[in-house]
Amino acid sequence: MNKEIQEFARTTLKEGLSLCTDAQQLLFKYMYAGGDLEMDINDVVDNMSEDKLDHAMYQVKNTLEKNNG
């Protein structure tokens, strides 16, 4: 994944996560923060490996659709 696509994915994730509930953000941290649940959600996204970005975007998209459904 090139840098521009990674940057787009991380920005999209941060925007989507800002619309999620605290509980949903906590679940995201459980999955992607490597055990550091005190980490800021934006830092979690910044520290994610690129191979997890696609799946994370899919999860956040589905969560937002469920919230708005």
Stretch 35-51: mean pLDDT = 97
> How many Cβ atoms from other residues are within 10 Å of residue 44's Cβ?
22
In this prediction, what percent of the chain has a pLDDT beyond 90?
A: 97
What per-residue confidence (pLDDT) applies to 1? 79
Cβ of 14: how many Cβ atoms within 10 Å?
15
For the entire predicted model, the pTM comes to 0.93
Q: What does the block give as tokens for 41? A: 């959600």
